């Protein structure tokens, strides 16, 4: 078992979970960030799993966790995805090797969203710029979050979407349509003028 880290600038790092078995009250270093880079996610990963990374401008990459060797806590990591200027990672998820089916749910800042079958995201080598996961336009806004839904979670789960001005909706993931990668999705939340999506949580 490992802990897999991903940053805004596409840096990834894998650390054996046992390295965090003895954490003092003041905390310990988990990853050495460079410049203005920020940590986006930390997930458990096991042998055979893959990692899905999504950016705000609609790019996505999926690669095997085995492509990243285990490192010490103070290491800075390696390139997981090439990020273009003006873009940044907004979500990173570990896809279990045991999962037979699943979808990638993306939510955009102006209330649009969609699901796409994971089969459309072929596993490739880490470090590339990825493939398009959504058509990002002024109407949809940029991607603010993504979630891998595996097996029954795709059919029975729910998401809560919250806007910057405090508007909240809760909807079943089954109600969000499954569409191909290069589409902009459908409106799942009507935004008031000047408002935008702040975050989404899958239940």
**Interval 97-114: pLDDT, tens:** 888 789 999 999 999 999
The per-residue pLDDT for 76 is 87
The helix or strand, by DSSP H or E, that contains position 132, with its residue range, turns out to be: strand 131-132
> Where residue 168 falls among pLDDT bands split at 50, 70, 90?
very high
Percent of the chain with pLDDT over 90: 80
**pTM, rounded to two decimals:** 0.92
The per-residue pLDDT for 6 is 98
Better-predicted residue by pLDDT, 153 or 47: 47
Pair 197, 109: CB distance under 8 Å: yes
The per-residue pLDDT for 154 is 65
Q: Taking Cα atoms as reference points, which of 155, 158, 189 lies closest to residue 174? A: 155
The pLDDT mean for the chain works out to: 92
Q: Taking Cα atoms as reference points, which of 181, 93, 91 lies closest to residue 143? A: 91
Q: Say how far apart CA 94 and CA 103 lie, in whole Å.
A: 13
Pair 141, 169: CB distance under 8 Å: no
Q: Say how far apart CA 148 and CA 117 lie, in whole Å.
A: 10
Q: Taking Cα atoms as reference points, which of 69, 97, 92 lies closest to residue 13? A: 69
């Amino acid at each position: 078992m490992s802990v897999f880290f991903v940053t805004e600038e596409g840096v990834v790092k894998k650390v054996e979970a046992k390295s965090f078995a003895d954490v003092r009250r003041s905390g310990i270093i988990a990853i050495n960030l460079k410049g203005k880079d920020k940590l986006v996610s930390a997930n458990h990963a096991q042998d055979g799993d893959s990692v899905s990374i999504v950016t705000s401008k609609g790019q996505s990459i999926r690669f095997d966790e085995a492509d990243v060797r285990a490192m010490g806590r103070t290491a800075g990591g390696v390139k997981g995805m090439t990020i273009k200027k003006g873009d940044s990672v907004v979500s990173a998820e570990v896809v279990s090797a045991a999962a037979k089916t699943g979808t990638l749910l993306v939510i955009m800042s102006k209330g649009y969203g969609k699901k796409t079958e994971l089969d459309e995201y072929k596993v490739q080598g880490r470090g590339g710029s990825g493939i398009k996961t959504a058509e990002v336009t002024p109407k949809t806004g940029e991607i603010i979050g993504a979630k891998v839904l595996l097996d029954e979670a795709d059919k029975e789960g729910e998401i809560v979407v919250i806007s910057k001005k405090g508007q909240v909706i809760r909807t079943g993931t089954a109600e969000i349509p499954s569409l191909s990668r290069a589409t902009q999705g459908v409106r799942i939340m009507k935004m008031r003028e000047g408002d935008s999506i702040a975050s989404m949580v899958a239940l």
